[in-house]
């Protein structure tokens, strides 16, 4: 029987979900961990639930309690070593975040070409995937909020006022915002160039995560915004019933 599926992508500060019925994406939503009301409306006892989580233990326990109250048995996905042609070459494969693994699976399903997978969330990950599905490696840098917090905590007279991107900022707030954008875009562009050199061809670039739209206009190369990339990978795994 083709049962109804709810996919839940639990990040560090927010969660996203999707409802899949008969192979069709019916609904999508997101929230922080303070409000469970919308998610609860999609949880019924006949639902198959799949979770990819990098959230802390408290948030995972809260989610588990919500699912138990709804009579839903959860399938907590884990990072594997190989799936649908994607090969995890991390020295300790389980150490690769399950969200990154799902993003790589979705990216390889989208394109047969080399692809850079960028997730701009609390932390930003930039992962390189070869055309043959080999994960070449990736970097992790602080995201927008973490960079701003570091400056506020470490440097005197940095105001908390939000700034705007400027090519040549003339206020401290704008200088902070513009510097953060420059740093994150620089990390993406540098990895893109490295993957292009390793692949002998320009790779595609897929962006997901809460801050993706902020970065997209400032990148020097074409990139595609795919907000549900992790959920796409989860749906492929859920459809096979295995994670590796």
d(CA 105, CA 209): 16
Q: Which of 16, 26, 79, 23 is nearest to 227 (CA)?
A: 16
The reply to whether domains 4-76 and 113-228 share a CATH topology is yes
The DSSP code for 221 is S
d(CA 120, CA 207): 7
| Residue 143 and residue 121 in contact, taking contact as beta carbons nearer than 8 Å | yes
What is residue 22's predicted lDDT score, i.e. its pLDDT? 84
**Top-level CATH class of 4-76?**
alpha beta
What is residue 244's predicted lDDT score, i.e. its pLDDT? 45
The number of C-alpha atoms within 13 Å of 26 and in the hemisphere containing its C-beta is: 10
What is residue 233's predicted lDDT score, i.e. its pLDDT? 98
d(CA 169, CA 156): 19
Check residues 75 and 22 and name the one with the higher pLDDT: 75
* pLDDT tens figures, 45-93: 888 999 999 999 999 999 999 999 999 999 999 999 999 999 999 999 9
What is residue 157's predicted lDDT score, i.e. its pLDDT? 74
The pLDDT of residue 240 is above 60: yes
Q: Which of 28, 9, 86 is nearest to 240 (CA)?
A: 86
* pLDDT tens figures, 220-230: 999 999 999 99
What is residue 1's predicted lDDT score, i.e. its pLDDT? 46
Predicted TM-score (pTM) of this structure = 0.93
CATH superfamily of 113-228: ATPase, nucleotide binding domain (3.30.420.40)
The DSSP line for 107-157 is: HHHH-SS-EEEEEESSEEEEEEE-TTSBEEEEEEEE-HHHHHHHHHHHSTT
Assign 2 a pLDDT band (cuts: 50, 70, 90). low
Pull the structure tokens for residue 23.
Answer: 């192979």
* Alpha helix segments (H runs only) across the chain: 37-40, 57-69, 98-110, 144-154, 172-199, 212-215, 229-240
d(CA 23, CA 244): 21
Residue ranges per domain, the chain?
4-76, 113-228
* pLDDT tens figures, 98-107: 999 999 999 9
Q: Which of 99, 127, 132, 211 is catalytic?
A: 99
Catalytic residue status for 127? no
What is residue 154's predicted lDDT score, i.e. its pLDDT? 87
């Amino acid at each position: 029987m083709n049962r109804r599926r709810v996919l839940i992508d639990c990040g560090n500060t927010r969660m996203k979900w999707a409802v899949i019925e008969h192979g069709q994406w019916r609904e999508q939503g997101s929230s922080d961990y303070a409000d469970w009301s919308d998610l609860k409306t999609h949880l019924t006892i006949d639902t198959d639930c799949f979770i990819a989580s990098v959230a802390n233990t408290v948030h995972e326990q809260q989610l588990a309690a919500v699912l138990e109250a709804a009579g839903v048995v959860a399938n907590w996905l884990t990072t594997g070593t190989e799936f649908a042609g994607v090969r995890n070459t991390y020295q300790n494969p389980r150490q690769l975040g399950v969200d990154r693994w799902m993003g790589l699976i979705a990216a390889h399903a989208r394109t047969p070409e080399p692809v850079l997978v960028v997730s701009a969330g609390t932390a930003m990950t930039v992962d390189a995937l070869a055309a043959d599905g080999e994960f070449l490696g990736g970097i992790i840098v602080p995201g927008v909020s973490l960079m701003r917090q570091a400056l506020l905590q470490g440097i005197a007279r940095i105001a908390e006022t939000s700034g705007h991107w400027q090519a040549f900022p003339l206020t401290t707030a704008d200088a902070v915002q513009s510097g953060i954008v420059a740093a994150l875009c620089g990390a993406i562009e540098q990895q893109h160039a490295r993957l292009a050199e390793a692949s002998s061809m320009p790779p595609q670039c897929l962006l997901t995560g809460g801050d993706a739209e902020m970065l997209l206009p400032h990148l020097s190369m074409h990139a595609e915004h795919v907000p549900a990339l992790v959920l796409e990978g989860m749906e492929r795994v859920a459809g096979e019933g295995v994670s590796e």
